[in-house]
Amino acid sequence: MHSSAWLCTIFLCLTLTQGQLQVSIYYESLCPDSLRFITTQLYPTYPSFANYLRLDLVPFGKATASKSSGHWKFRCQHGPRECYNNKIHTCVIAHNPPKPTLNFINCAMKSPDSPKMCAIESGISWNVISNCLNSGQADVLLAQNGDKTNAVTPPIDYVPTIIFNGVYSKAMQNFAEKHFAKSVCSQLKNKPNVCKKLRTL
């Protein structure tokens, strides 16, 4: 009986996961357009769609990464501070579930000089993030973000880039940046009630 229950639970989890819409967001921690999208579209929309989305947040954008003598070096569009903040975001994403992660990112985009405060307010351990930064893990993770970003087809030339289920569409990108909730609803097969309300707006 326990075995059957376990199998049913696994099947349910797989079904839910397969029914979710994957949303990949390639962004930069000091980019004004990323700030606008995350704080005015993604963050306020997410609570209504949390069970329907699988977020893939990728801080890197138009940065470059190179390795020399065993050490990673990064150059970021908005300077060294953005590289450091990208590392912080990357550590938070790697060590926390979506809700506190998004709370942190929303806060940190608005207050980029106060990551520790944002971590505390989001219920995230700053010690864990600090260890990630100081151990070299952040460099490895950010380099992996670079690989993911560089693998996007066509190549990313605008930040934030928003991709649904691994397929880039310029039309959907433009629509999602200003109407994220409606863009999500348009692609969900099993739509939450909030989608019905959006159709009347």
- Number of C-beta neighbours around residue 155 at 10 A: 9
Q: What is the pLDDT along the chain (201 residues), one digit of tens a residue?
A: 444 334 433 333 333 456 899 999 999 999 999 999 999 999 999 999 999 999 999 999 999 999 999 899 999 999 999 999 999 999 999 999 999 999 999 999 999 999 999 999 999 999 999 999 999 999 999 999 999 999 999 999 999 999 999 999 999 999 999 999 999 999 999 999 999 988 755
DSSP-assigned beta bridge partners for residue 22: 54
What count of Cα atoms within 13 Å lies in the side-chain half-sphere of residue 118? 21
The tokens 């229950």 sit on which residue?
Answer: 5
At the second CATH level, the architecture of 22-199 is 3-Layer(aba) Sandwich (3.40)
The model scores a pTM over 0.85: yes
Name which of 153, 143, 74 is nearest 161 in CA terms.
153
Q: Are 61 and 34 in contact (CB under 8 A)?
A: yes
pLDDT of 17: 53
Burial class, 47, CB count within 10 angstroms (exposed 0-12 / middle 13-18 / buried 19+): exposed
Burial class, 161, CB count within 10 angstroms (exposed 0-12 / middle 13-18 / buried 19+): buried
Domain boundaries, the chain: 22-199
DSSP letters spanning 122-185: TT--HHHHHHHHHSSHHHHHHHHHHHHHHT-SSPP-SSSEEEETTB--HHHHHHHHH-HHHHHH
Largest Cα separation within the chain, whole Å, is: 59
pLDDT of 18: 60
pLDDT of 198: 87
Name which of 162, 184, 186 is nearest 173 in CA terms.
162
pLDDT of 73: 98
